Amino acid sequence: MRFVTIETAKAGSPATADFARGAHTTLRRTLAICSLLALALLTVGLVSMLMGSQRLPITGSLCLIFGGDGGRCGLTPEQQAILFDLRLPRVLLAASVGASLAAAGAGYQALLRNPLAEPYLLGISNGAAVGTMIALVFLGTQTWTRSLMAFAGALAATFVVYRLARGRTGTSPEKLILAGVIVTTFLSSAIVFITTMMDATRIRSFNFWLLGDLSGSTSSLLTIGLIAALLGTVLLAAHGRALNLMMLGERDAFDLGVEVERVRLIVFLAASLLVGASVASSGSVGYVGLVVPHLVRLSVGSDNRTTIPAAALAGALFVIVADTAARTIIAPRELPVGAITALIGAPLFVYLLRRG
Amino acid sequence: MRDGIFHLSNYRLRQFKFLSLLLLTSALLFACAPRSESGKGTPPGNLAAEMREVTDDAGKRVRVHARPERIVSLAPNLTEIVYAVGAGPRLVGNTTYCDYPREANQVTKVGDTLHPSVERILALRPQLILVSTASQLETFARQLDEQQIAVYVTDPRDLDGVLRSIVSVGDLLGQRAEAERVAGQLRERAARVEEATRSRQPVSVFYQLSAEPLYTAGHDSYITDLVRRAGGRSVTADVPGAWPRYSDEAALSSRPEAIVMATGGSMGEANADIAAALKNSPAARSGRIIKINGDYLSRPGPRLVDGLEQMARSLHPEAFGQ
């Protein structure tokens, strides 16, 4: 695994070269990688807008997407509504959820110096889910309480996992995963407990949402999700250099002038914001935060200034593809997107582990 | 030293607690054992004579008393059927969803349809348990089978199936004549509705079970049959399954002329708004949003025909002289 080499970076392994590179070179490299990914993202987003349970004329759809007039492009009002009122928001939501989870995963992995640190495995998604459900059951259905409680839940879960994992000797990878398992199972039970307090009609919709589902969202949740994705990713990427140094060890980072406590708090806040916003709109979509940063590190290296924004773009791409599959495989019925990301993610991760 | 003594006494205390707990448990076990044996009631010779075998909707052979005196119902539609065929007084347990007729509220609750408590059911010493496929059968049916309590499953796929289940449940309870009468009346009412709507142009209908996420009635649902009888044509009639999770864009493209929603009743405000994808459908634009008491449509029992009548009157008001 490329990641493990970071531990030995002090000893002068090739990975040191990544960090030693000047800020100017890094910026240029990051921009090049990200513009390539952004181009791929736009292409995939466009293709996914052309796919769905309903077959739309391709040339007409393209004509409409590139600013054509509805009548001239030869699409009925229904087809226009499918394209812009249903598919576009859904593709945007998939992008925001994917970007959020992948960037948060990359952030946790750098901060906790553990390649397995991921919102889903650490129980942070479950924390956000419990927050959302508490908001829905006890506090009414306003969008802002839902998102705020999801954020609070994610943050609380993050701190509990961190506290549990951090012993006198610092966080060990095993302890962190164990803490994640404990928090995940505890919160899963809490979720079961809350669902028993709901009536039957709501349980059905919650089961779907819990698995990660992009269909039940609203425009305000989408707006919050997009803003959170952008804000969180920028915040994390801006602390990329500090995270690079902290990956060498918090002690060394401190000696090199990094405000370790402050950076840790900011990363926790930003990652919780990302996870909270995505869970509030679409439940727990698993494996994105694990698989995507791994793939990104394998291909572009471990410099967090590059890895974090690249992971966000690649994550968006991954979830758009997964959700397109979820919408089309058994059309006109639908699958929860979380089932697809897990089906792709788990084998892919095993493959990456073996290759590493 | 002090510490040591304290430690020791603490240990003794725990040991004592453990022993007494063990004693108490075994005492309870002995106390219960003979009772559960005698709890099976009537002597074996008589028992065999009173038993008979039937096949339920799950295709399972069920051995049941000829006239069960203690019945538990695990679904509100089955509770309504038990009362309709005149066996209400023999119902010893039902679910928290069972709120009709009013007497059903006085019966001991054994949990809800999704999570019934097997312990509570057993404590009621039922001779027959009526179950619908809405329950998670696998989890508890086996446990009840092991206790040799008859579990009878109903799974009606259309209105005829509902009427048949009324007769078969009535027959099971020793109320065949009454059940035939009830089913006959319902069949007549349904036939009158069909008579009135037969010559009408069928209206395309989208049945909205829930808006977020969007669920509808598919091929295997009795709702699809009900819509047809009411003079409609369900746009999701060919979708596999009974209650499929449906795609937004497929719903939008289906362009229904009317939307039927089960809402109100014990469902309260749930499912009271149409799904976002249907906001611009012909049905929404012309205002043909038909809300029917959720209890009529979500419970395949006697009141399903009330739902049918309301649906038909809303789809074809002119056919009923309105």
Write down the ipTM of this complex.
0.72
Bridge partners (DSSP) of residue B51 are: B65
Structure letter (DSSP) for residue B130: E
Are A325 and A340 in contact by the 8 Å Cβ rule? The answer is yes
Q: How far does the CA of residue B200 sit from the closest CA of chain A (Å)?
A: 27
Label residues A227-265 b or e (16+ Cβ within 10 Å = b). ebbeebbebbbebbbbbbbbbbebeebeeeebeeeebbe
Mean pLDDT computed over A309-321 = 97
Residue B17 has pLDDT above 70, yes or no: no
> pLDDT tens across A209-235, in order?
888 888 877 888 999 999 999 999 999
Mean pLDDT computed over B89-104 = 94
* Percentage above 90 pLDDT, chain A: 51
- Closest CB to B270: pick one of A54, A78, A201: A201
Exposed (0-12), middle (13-18) or buried (19+): which is A269, by Cβ within 10 Å?
A: middle
Task: Give dist(CA B318, CA B203) in Å, integer.
Answer: 13
* Disruptive mutation site among B99, B210, B249 for chain A (greatest number of A CBs within 10 Å): B249
Which range has highest mean pLDDT (A10-19, A249-258, B142-151)? A249-258
Q: Give me the sign of the Cα torsion angle B71, B84, B228, B281.
A: negative
Mean model confidence pLDDT for chain A: 87
Give the predicted TM-score (pTM) of the model: 0.79
Task: Give dist(CA A92, CA A222) in Å, integer.
Answer: 8
**Cβ B249–A334 below 8 Å, yes or no?**
no
Are A247 and A199 in contact by the 8 Å Cβ rule? The answer is no
Please give the pLDDT value at position A177. 85
Residue A168 has pLDDT above 70, yes or no: no
**Helix H or strand E encompassing A33:** helix A23-49
Please give the pLDDT value at position A238. 95
Interface residues of chain A, partner chain B, Cβ below 8 Å: 52-54, 77-79, 81-82, 85-87, 196, 199-205, 208-209, 213, 215-216, 327, 331-334
* CA–CA–CA angle A41, A44, A46 (5° rounding): 105
**Which chain B residues are within 8 Å of A196, Cβ to Cβ?**
115
Q: How far does the CA of residue B281 sit from the closest CA of chain A (Å)?
A: 8
CA-to-CA separations, A254 to A163, B8, B115, B304, in angstroms, rounded? 20, 49, 54, 72
Residue A262 has pLDDT above 90, yes or no: yes
Mean pLDDT computed over B284-300 = 94
A288-300 helix and A88-112 helix, angle to the nearest 10 degrees = 70
- Closest CB to B245: pick one of A77, A202, A334: A334
Q: How far does the CA of residue B270 sit from the closest CA of chain A (Å)?
A: 8
**Cβ B210–A82 below 8 Å, yes or no?**
no
**Which chain B residues are within 8 Å of A77, Cβ to Cβ?**
280
Q: How far does the CA of residue A95 sit from the closest CA of chain B (Å)?
A: 19
